[in-house]
Structure 1
Amino acid sequence: MLGANYEPFTQHLTVCARLWPPFVDYDNNGNLMGYEIDLWNRMSLWLGNLTYTFKGLNNTLDEELVPMLLSSDNTSSSHCDVVLGNWKLSTAYITLGIKGSLDVYRGGSQVAIPNPYSGSMKSMWSFIMVFNWQLWVVLFATSVILCPFIYFSEIDYQNRGLGKARFPSALGSGLIESFYRVFGKIFNVVDEMRVRALASKAVALAWGSANTILLSAYTAGLTATATSANFQSAGIVGPSSLPNTRVGTFSTQTHSFLRYGFLGIAITDDMEESSGQVLADALSNNTLNLNAIVADTAWLNYRLQNTCDIVIIGDVFQYVHNAFGYNKNLDPGFIYNSTVALSDLAVTFDYYTTLTNKYMPGQNCAPAPNTIQLTLQDMEGMWILVAALIALAVVLTLLPKINRNWDVDKLHAGSGSSGSSGSRSSLGKAATASAALGVDFLAPSFTGSEAAFGHHNHSQKLESLSGCGHNSTSSGDARRFSWDLSSAAGSPHSHPVVSMKQAEGGGGQGGRRGSTVKCEDAATATVV
């Protein structure tokens, strides 16, 4: 306890607070907070309401703080009476005359590793990274080459299907179907190609076998990626496990751990608070293939308390003593009284434990599961591909429909001299009426199919007709057509409709066949 002759310290102090969570940090309103801020405020109340002003320092190294603690000009902007924020006692500073308080926190270094039981593959495209890009390129190139090969090998076989399952008729046939079968086999979504040519059979057998092997290798690779992405880190239990591993640390500490049998890999240039985040990111993202990092135990327990992707393991080692740094010229009586106050807060009130639980509660990660689970993040890329393929399927389905609607031949076949539209499969009223009145039509356009006349001479042209009862012989053919035009009496809006019936010819060489065409009322006529 303070002596009976203790008088409150009246000097106004400049307290330099260096940013270093959890000892010194800023809240959402920009006000200073943290372990040492709370402890200083509590100690000042214990000493009798000290008067002081906080001066925030961001990313300031120990070497930069030394001149501030040696300054005797308390009006200078580079003067500090007290330094808070991960200040560590050392014999070098004591030799310079810089004093320190009682320990405010017993810190040190600790090991952090990727969670070996998280099952996370760290990337939404990890399922693609099972194969490297060269293998994906070769696989795609091989598929593209096989498609036209199989198509041209089967070119002499008509009305054949490349698989048991029916190919979507809307997508057409031929080379498109070859692409569908070859690429579908990669993903095991189509059956074996049913080809007939010997070369095609050999290629189909080889391609099917290759895809079976690739699918097996991919499945095994994906499982290995998920279960053993952090396999090398799983056996690390503390500093004794770090020899012969890749350990990231600060550049100023790379040789500090030789006594533990390992040499650290410099990740950052200086020991600033932001450097700790660089360390954690390098380990989490696996950008440098690190097995572990070694960092300040207070920072690790503060920053990683809400995550389990990186876990803190083992005991604290290479201890350091965090304290308040006091200016060389500060009153020794104040230093003594502050030591008494800190001792009372630590022992009697257990205030150090209260602050530790508040700012460094430690991680609360669930026990290691018995199985590895993939997360949604690991497979997000797959859903993007699924959406893209569905969009492609919709486009491929709509294109033939759009093409049919804008088919020039269809529009020409279904329109008459007046431009009216009709169906290619059946003769429209306007088209038949125009034909009966003497308008010239090409035979395929008039009949709608080659089979209707039983011949393939598309150059034939029906002679102009002036009325029913005329016989017309198409050029180049012996077929004769009998036309009978008659309008329904008393029906001013009726249109003559041609009905055609093919009949056997009674005579002539070769048993020529004739067609009798009759005109009937449009309202009742039917095509025979």
Structure 2
Amino acid sequence: MPRLPVKTPPALLSLLAVFLALASCLSALPARAQETGQSLTVATRVAPPFVMKDGDGTWSGLAIDMWREIAEQRGYEYTFVESDLAGLVDGVADGRYDASVGALTVTAAREEQVDFTHPFYATGFGIAVPKAPPAWLSLLRNFFTLQFLQAILALCALLLVVGLLFWLVERRHNAEEFAPGPRGLFAGFWFSAVTMTTVGYGDKAPRTAAGKAIALVWMFAAILIISTFTGMIASSLTSGRLTGAIGGPEDLAVASVGSIRASASDEWLSSEGIAFTGYPDIESGLAALREGRIEAFVYDEPLLRYRVRKDTTNTLRVLPGTFGRQDYAIATGPDSALREPVDISLLQIVEGSKWRNDLTRVLGKVK
């Protein structure tokens, strides 16, 4: 029996068309909302001079100003949300935030979770250390160490013993120069001292055979003693100046180092096998450095340089040069429609002279 064609009711066709149109609109909603209407949630974290937060909660800084310019160009509405370092990546990866803006370094581990825009600032790691005191002050301090004072006391005790021997054998036969009593004992001490130092004023001299024998032995022994003592002093002063001196990353392995946990510097130090003390932020790390609890603090060079420039105590410095590689970029969700338009605006900004001038004004010229 022939099958009769089934006619679809017009109302059902209309409903189906509306459904398809609605589905199409919903699928395109994220891209259109990010371009025009829906407010974006942008995570950030205080990291002067790229991100700063005023007392009234207003955000500012190099990265914040750059984002504001991007948002103005693209017509984005947005709200800043403060987060910790781990949250800048995890929050974007799980969809809590649409983007993260700040001094956020691109790493392989982070790239697996989120997408990054083109870098807007390339730098490396820096090392902050205490300022070295003036050479004359360092030398003066080394003269007053416990070890140096102990050596001086030991030498004086030896001179006193030798002087006592001179006095004992000379006091009866050479009373004019080595008189009985404390005066003669001091004369023996004086004679042993000038003999050891080869000054030999000639005001004292042994006259007995025993005294001359002691003097002869003491002359040769003094040559060895004074040479040894001079070497000890030179070694003490040199080691005192070099102890704790850090000139670059190659010295970190034998120094007490601080850094920030879960940061790019944490990854670098761990990969190099360098043990370090973790701090929650730069302020606490630099405070530990000033107080002598650590010898060096490793973190992003521009952030360290900015903080040290603003440090009113003037007791810290950042070593010249950088090591490692760091690229700051904006993080967006995987396959986010934000990345391409943000990339275009970001490149336009960093290629302009205003961005370069802002970097020089805030960070100063890199030495």
Task: Tell me the CA shift for residue 81 of structure 1.
Answer: 4.5
Q: Which residue of 2 aligns with 1:160?
A: 177
Task: Tell me the CA shift for residue 194 of structure 1.
Answer: 1.8
Q: Which residue of 1 aligns with 2:204?
A: 194
**CA distance in 2 between partners of 1:35 and 1:42 (Å):** 11
**CA distance in 2 between partners of 1:26 and 1:124 (Å):** 45
> Does the aligned pair in 1 maintain the 2:129–2:246 contact within 8 Å?
yes
1:311 to 298, 319, 342: 319
**CA distance in 2 between partners of 1:210 and 1:193 (Å):** 24
Task: Tell me the CA shift for residue 18 of structure 1.
Answer: 2.3
Q: Which residue of 1 aligns with 2:24?
A: none
SS at 1:266's partner residue?
coil
Distance change >3 Å, CA 253–CA 8, structure 1 → 2: closer
SS at 1:125's partner residue?
helix
1:322 to 321, 328, 344: 328
Q: Alpha-carbon deviations, 1:52-83, whole Å to 9, x = none?
A: 3453x5xx443x444433455xxxxxx54443
Distance change >3 Å, CA 142–CA 221, structure 1 → 2: same
**CA distance in 2 between partners of 1:29 and 1:204 (Å):** 79
Task: Tell me the CA shift for residue 345 of structure 1.
Answer: 1.0
2:62 to 12, 30, 35: 35
Q: Which residue of 2 aligns with 1:357?
A: 360
Identity of aligned residues (%): 17
SS at 1:139's partner residue?
helix
**What is the aligned-residue RMSD (CA, Å)?**
5.6
> Does the aligned pair in 1 maintain the 2:126–2:301 contact within 8 Å?
yes
> Does the aligned pair in 1 maintain the 2:105–2:329 contact within 8 Å?
yes
Distance change >3 Å, CA 351–CA 280, structure 1 → 2: farther
Structure possessing the higher relative contact order (Cα contacts under 8 Å, 6 or more residues apart): 2
Q: Alpha-carbon deviations, 1:187-216, whole Å to 9, x = none?
A: 999957724254463475357535642564
1:209 to 204, 208, 223: 223
**CA distance in 2 between partners of 1:27 and 1:192 (Å):** 78
**CA distance in 2 between partners of 1:310 and 1:9 (Å):** 44
> Does the aligned pair in 1 maintain the 2:122–2:327 contact within 8 Å?
yes
Task: Tell me the CA shift for residue 94 of structure 1.
Answer: 4.9
**CA distance in 2 between partners of 1:48 and 1:302 (Å):** 32
- TM-score, normalising length from structure 2? 0.57
Q: Does 1:342 align with 2:346?
A: yes
Q: Alpha-carbon deviations, 1:358-408, whole Å to 9, x = none?
A: 3433565xxxxxxxxxxxxxxxxxxxxxxxxxxxxxxxxxxxxxxxxxxxx
More helix by share: 2
Q: Which residue of 2 aligns with 1:68?
A: 91
Distance change >3 Å, CA 307–CA 28, structure 1 → 2: farther
Trace 1:23-422 onto structure 2 (pairs within 5 A).
23-25=50-52, 34-47=61-74, 50-53=77-80, 55=82, 57=83, 60-62=84-86, 64-70=87-93, 80-90=97-107, 92-96=109-113, 98-109=114-125, 125-127=141-143, 135=151, 138-156=154-172, 157-160=174-177, 173-175=183-185, 191=201, 194-196=204-206, 198-199=210-211, 201-202=215-216, 205-206=219-220, 208-210=222-224, 212-214=226-228, 216-217=230-231, 220-221=234-235, 229=242, 252-254=267-269, 256=271, 263-269=272-278, 273=282, 277=286, 296-299=300-303, 301-302=305-306, 311-313=319-321, 317=324, 319-326=325-332, 332=336, 334-347=338-351, 349-362=352-365, 364=367
> Does the aligned pair in 2 maintain the 1:251–1:265 contact within 8 Å?
no
Task: Tell me the CA shift for residue 99 of structure 1.
Answer: 3.7
* Higher Rg of the two aligned structures: 1
**CA distance in 2 between partners of 1:185 and 1:32 (Å):** 75
- TM-score, normalising length from structure 1? 0.43
> Does the aligned pair in 1 maintain the 2:43–2:88 contact within 8 Å?
no
Unaligned stretches of 5+ in structure 1?
73-78, 163-171, 257-262, 365-528
> Does the aligned pair in 2 maintain the 1:110–1:294 contact within 8 Å?
yes
SS at 2:142's partner residue?
coil
Q: Which residue of 2 aligns with 1:380?
A: none
Task: Tell me the CA shift for residue 322 of structure 1.
Answer: 1.5
> Does the aligned pair in 2 maintain the 1:300–1:312 contact within 8 Å?
no
Distance change >3 Å, CA 187–CA 300, structure 1 → 2: farther
Distance change >3 Å, CA 14–CA 153, structure 1 → 2: farther
> Does the aligned pair in 2 maintain the 1:276–1:299 contact within 8 Å?
no
Trace 1:468-487 onto structure 2 (pairs within 5 A).
none
